[in-house]
Chain A
Amino acid sequence: MKSKIDIAYEQYIHQERRTKRNVLFTQFLLFVLFVGVWELASTQNWINPLLFSSPSRISELFINKIGDGTLLVHIAATTGETLASFVIATIFGTACAAILWWAPFVSKVSDPYLVVLNAMPKVALGPILIVALGPGYISIIAMGVLISFVITTLVVYAAFHETDQNYIKVIETFGGDKKQVFQEVTLPAAIPTIISTLKVNVGLSWVGVIVGEFLVSKKGLGYMIIYGFQVFNFTLVLLSLFIIAILATFMYTGVGMLENRWRKR
């Protein structure tokens, strides 16, 4: 015989499942509705098809571009550049934060400069980068790094700085030196912060790389956008936008999974 608690529990589980199903269904419905209305509005000329294109034209172009292999080249270029700038910015930013933590004098001296660097719109440095590093993927990666490393440094340094003094004291009472304090306490205590800056950096790296591609490149999704804009092919622009959105979501989810894995430990 089932107890009343068991029955109530089953009802609860049932209710939870139903809510989840409803949410998923509504999400799917919204998507279908959006695509449907867009297609209809475009074919009926309610919106300018030249400017807003239509889902069918975008998917047609997508299949074409996949077929002739050009799209994959663009995707590979942009993804590679983004990943490179993301990884470099995170490592470089964390390393700078470590130096600031290690040498309080350096941190005090560099404080106003970091504030200025952080406040400055890094995109404005684009032209200088291109002249200095040449019109190629190096400039684009540099753009991506530049845009996210200053904020990484500041946030990670703050996390290093705010480590609970008592944990540091534990290591010191055992006779540990500064290097051991960093290895055993400061760095591991800051890992959650570092992971959350990764999330910010994913977005910023994309901004940097796309802007970089706007300025110089001969391939990549940013190039596709600027090319589509120049020849007034907005189907191409929209296709690039969709692919960027999907790739960025993948990267963001990846970082999220990393975060979960760390939390479980």
Chain B
Amino acid sequence: MAFLTVNQLTHAYFSTQSVTTALENISLQVEEGEFVSFLGPSGCGKTTLLSLIAGLMPPTIGTVKIQNENVQKAHNQIGYMFQQDYLFPWRTIEENIFIGLKIQHKLDKMSKTFALDLLEQLNLEHTRTKYPHELSGGMRQRIALVRTLATQPVLLLLDEPFSALDYQTKLKLENLVFNTLKEHQKTALLVTHDIGEAIAMSDRVIVFSANPGKIKSIHTIPSELQKMEPFEVRNHEDYKHIFQTIWEELNELEVEN
């Protein structure tokens, strides 16, 4: 049995004037420890899919199962990273990284030590008593990563977490997140519209078409590239070919629409 199973998922948004189908008949499976990317044009329902997997809202039709259990409401064991850090400006960094533990009533000496160790691993221990506005965008996103990992989630959902950063910071953070997740053996889903990022970070890339969101194709990245750090992958020869294939596919999608 797969770690995560999405079974014939369809989701629609309602307003009094209209019905918008965001996702149609999505089925996919993700194994434990796998890193899967969702790639597609805007409006293909990628974020909707993450929200459904996180249990933030119930799907219109279909089911999501994590470790063979139906996801009904927000799952304690999911970590979610957003496009921006969304650190609470009125809390210090330390209070920010403890927030998940506090919400889940798991704030004790052990969990605190774990969170602070993570902060140290990312070379951020000097920021403990600072406030978010005193730090740079890259640092804040790294702290958001610590906040997400502090609750020890089994599944990480990354919703374009690098899109608001400058290019250099983005490349560095890709490596950092990749290594951190591999080290802690996390299963992760990444939503992105950056083809390079998807190839560099994932084991599999799932391409979506838009209006309504459907799975168009699935690309398995060669195992050699899977093991490499994202930055190395970007310099690898095969990278270009895969990039080219997906690029053409996405272009076709645009023409179809």
Q: Chain A: residues with CB nearer than 8 A to chain B? A: 164, 166-167, 169-176, 180, 184-185, 188-189, 191, 265
Contacts and interface: CB of A to CB of B under 8 A. Distances in A.
Interface stretch (B99-107, B121-129, B181-189, B248-256): B99-107
A174 B90 contact: no
Given A166-B82, A180-B103, A184-B99, A173 B54 contact: yes
B82 A170 contact: yes
Contact of A175 (B74, B86, B90): B74
Given A170-B82, A173-B74, A185 B88 contact: yes
Contacts of A174: 74, 76, 99-100, 103-104, 151
A184 B103 contact: yes
Interface string B69-80: 000011110111
A180 B75 CA distance: 16
Interface string B87-116: 010100000000110111000000000000
A166 B99 contact: no
Contacts of A191: 90
A172 B80 CA distance: 10
Given A166-B82, A180-B103, A173 B88 contact: no
B90 A188 contact: yes
B56 interface: yes
Interface of B: 54, 56, 73-76, 78-80, 82, 84, 86, 88, 90, 99-100, 102-104, 131, 151, 157
Contacts of A188: 88, 90
A172 B74 contact: yes
Contacts of B86: 164, 166-167, 169-170
Nearest to B56: A172
Contacts of A170: 80, 82, 86, 99
Contacts of A180: 103
Given A173-B56, A174-B74, A174-B151, A166 B84 contact: yes
A173 B157 CA distance: 10
Nearest to A180: B103
Contacts of B84: 166
Interface centre among A166, A170, A180, A185 (most CB of B within 10 A): A170
8 contacts: A170-B82, A170-B99, A172-B74, A175-B73, A175-B74, A176-B103, A180-B103, A184-B102
A234 B195 CA distance: 81
Given A172-B56, A173-B79, A174-B76, 18 more contacts: A166-B84, A166-B86, A167-B86, A170-B80, A170-B99, A173-B74, A173-B78, A173-B80, A174-B99, A175-B74, A175-B76, A175-B104, A176-B74, A180-B103, A184-B102, A188-B90, A265-B90, A265-B131
B3 to A, nearest CB: 19
B88 A175 contact: no
B143 to A, nearest CB: 13
Contacts of B103: 171, 174-176, 180, 184
Contacts of B74: 172-176
Contacts of A167: 86, 88
A191 B90 CA distance: 10
Contacts of B79: 173
Nearest to B102: A184
A248 to B, nearest CB: 30
Contacts of B151: 174
A159 to B, nearest CB: 14
A104 to B, nearest CB: 16
Interface centre among A164, A174, A180 (most CB of B within 10 A): A174
A184 B91 CA distance: 10
B8 to A, nearest CB: 24
B61 to A, nearest CB: 22
